[in-house]
Amino acid sequence: MRIRKAVLPVAGMGTRVLPASKVIPKEMLPLVDKPTLQYIVEEAVAAGIEEIIFVTTRSKRSIEDHFDSTPELEQLLKRKGKHKELEEVLRVRTMARYVAVRQPEPLGLGHAILCARDLVDDEPFVVMLGDDLVAPETPCLPRMMEIHEQYGGSVLSLFTSPPEEISAFGVVAAQDVDDDTVKVTHLVEKPAPEEAPSNLAVAGRYILTPDIFDLIEQTPPGKGGEIQITDALEMQAQSGQCYGLRFNGIRYDTGNPLGLVTTTIAYALKRPELAPALRDYMRQVLRNS
């Protein structure tokens, strides 16, 4: 079955980037001139996703507004002859179908995904975390979809984590299946470095089969007192229904101040109209430091 829907859990408080995220959702903080979340939606659409499901909360209305129509702005741009800007505004609101559901309480990623159950229905779907970006020149979703088509089951994007960072992620034990594919046999949420089953960590991209919803409902609160998707995936792994892609592409973490700054620079350097001046500025800063 072709994967058509992506769930984007965006109800988190973004405490690592306070005070910027006190009023502005962390997913709406800009990278150059686009909100972080827009890059993630564009990644999904490029992989063939047709419907974006936002799992939000009452303080994140601006996310829905950004992807909605803005008649006053569109008329203003048209009247002033700003055709390039108008084309971009129209593209953003028409590149996918958008729906939203609220997570009433911050009960964890697993619970956030469960909130989208009625909108996903009985089909496999993608989950994309809002502070993990994948460079468009090295996408992972198309290959993950191929693995799902070949082996069935859920598929996780995995990367090799340095030991000092491993406790920030879900970590897997796995057996090689193909050059870039593994069968996941065990998962642990945010283990201490000495307890990690490997150095393969989950990189914020998932393809999940719809039976995950029943498994989440059976999952008690885990690490941090929250309902963890890792614990539900562990049940799939134990039944042989969880795979992983060893992702060797470029990914960015915008969930902390340094990551937000470095990702902004990286994305600005991809823009030919900005890159030369930015490089000159960076050289000047380095000379003067």
DSSP lists the bridge partners of residue 243 as 155, 183
The per-residue b/e assignment along 116-153, b for 16 or more CB within 10 angstroms, e otherwise, is bbebbeeebbbbbbbbbbbbeeebbbebbbebbeebeb
**What homologous superfamily is domain 5-288 in, according to CATH?**
Spore Coat Polysaccharide Biosynthesis Protein SpsA; Chain A (3.90.550.10)
Predicted pLDDT of residue 106: 86
Residue 73 CA to residue 224 CA, distance in Å, equals: 43
Residue 49 CA to residue 124 CA, distance in Å, equals: 12
Q: What are phi and psi of 155, to 5 degrees?
A: -135, 130
Per-residue confidence of the chain (289 residues) as pLDDT tens digits?
789 999 999 998 778 888 888 888 999 999 999 999 999 999 999 999 999 999 999 888 999 999 999 999 999 999 999 999 999 999 999 999 999 999 998 899 999 999 999 999 999 999 999 889 999 999 999 999 999 999 999 999 999 999 898 998 999 999 999 999 999 999 999 999 989 999 999 999 999 999 999 999 999 887 778 899 999 999 999 999 999 999 999 999 998 999 999 999 999 999 999 999 999 999 999 998 7
- Amino acid sitting at position 45: V
- Amino acid sitting at position 105: E
Predicted pLDDT of residue 94: 95
Predicted pLDDT of residue 21: 85
Distances (CA, A) of 229 to 9, 12, 107, 178, 279: 12, 15, 11, 25, 41
Predicted pLDDT of residue 280: 96
